[in-house]
């Protein structure tokens, strides 16, 4: 049995969607807010010293972190109906490029700006720093929009990129920005939300249109 350490609406939702799509049996352990709860961090740290979700424990007890690594591993397990274009598929290079772009460029903007106090001692500098990082993130999202096909990110087939887009567009700058500025990404997010196989996951993970902590 796989065990996913999670928090509703956070990046673990990307993995919950994949586990649902592949119908992989799993249990979910919900954690309190990792930014504010020392107890939640203490619980996760033995498995993942960086105390982030998603953190997945495989049936053999091995710990897998990093959503992109988990994404590739689950596709290996699933064999069919994969959310990762297989080797030889013409969409695979673009899929890999933008998957890594999401986790290497966009995701860290949250790591550093969700709670600037962790990195910036000088209190008055925190909000301007966050504003600049958020503006940078918006520029990155516009690049993702340019690369997006329709109806799905890589074209005709749903992939994990669509799941990242659906979850991460719930975060800053939130759907109210994505709808007018990145209409292709907004349409992908709505199309993912409409798929019946994901209904239960969204029930746990939907955030308000104007966002929460991030």
Binding site for ligand GSH (CB under 6 A): 10-11, 34-35, 51-54, 66-68, 103, 107, 110-111
CA atoms of 97 and 78, how far apart (whole Å)? 22
What is the nearest approach in angstroms of ligand GSH to the Cβ of residue 97? 16
What is the nearest approach in angstroms of ligand GSH to the Cβ of residue 193? 18
What is the nearest approach in angstroms of ligand GSH to the Cβ of residue 214? 7
CA atoms of 21 and 93, how far apart (whole Å)? 22
CA atoms of 211 and 4, how far apart (whole Å)? 23
- The tokens for 184 are 């292709």
Nearer residue to ligand GSH within complex by CB, 68 or 96: 68
Residues 6+ apart with CB under 8 A from 56: 2, 3, 4, 5, 15, 63, 64, 65, 70
CA atoms of 53 and 5, how far apart (whole Å)? 6
Nearer residue to ligand GSH within complex by CB, 110 or 153: 110
| End-to-end C-alpha distance for the chain, whole angstroms | 31
DSSP 74-101: HHHHH-SS-SSPPTT-TTHHHHHHHHHH
What is the nearest approach in angstroms of ligand GSH to the Cβ of residue 150? 25
CA atoms of 130 and 114, how far apart (whole Å)? 8
CA atoms of 71 and 82, how far apart (whole Å)? 10
What is the nearest approach in angstroms of ligand GSH to the Cβ of residue 7? 7
Nearer residue to ligand GSH within complex by CB, 76 or 150: 76
What is the nearest approach in angstroms of ligand GSH to the Cβ of residue 100? 10
């Amino acid at each position: 049995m796989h065990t996913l350490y999670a928090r509703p609406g956070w990046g673990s939702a990307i993995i919950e969607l994949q586990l649902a799509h592949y119908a992989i049996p799993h249990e979910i352990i919900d954690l309190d807010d990792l930014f504010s709860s020392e107890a939640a961090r203490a619980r996760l740290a033995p498995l993942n010293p960086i105390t982030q979700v998603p953190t997945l424990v495989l049936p053999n007890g091995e710990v897998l972190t990093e959503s992109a690594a988990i994404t590739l591993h689950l596709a290996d397990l699933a064999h069919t109906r994969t959310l990762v274009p297989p080797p030889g598929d013409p969409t695979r290079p673009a899929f890999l490029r933008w998957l890594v772009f999401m986790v290497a460029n966009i995701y860290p903007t949250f790591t550093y700006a969700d709670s600037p106090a962790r990195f910036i001692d000088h209190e008055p500098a925190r909000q301007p720093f966050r504003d600049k990082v958020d503006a940078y993130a918006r520029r990155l999202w516009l690049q993702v929009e340019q690369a997006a096909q329709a109806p799905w990110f890589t074209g005709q087939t749903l992939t994990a990129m669509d799941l990242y887009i659906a979850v991460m567009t719930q975060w800053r700058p939130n759907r109210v920005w994505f709808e007018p500025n990145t209409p292709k990404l907004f349409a992908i997010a709505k199309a993912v939300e409409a798929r019946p196989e994901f209904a239960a996951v969204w029930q746990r993970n939907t955030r308000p249109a104007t966002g929460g902590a991030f």
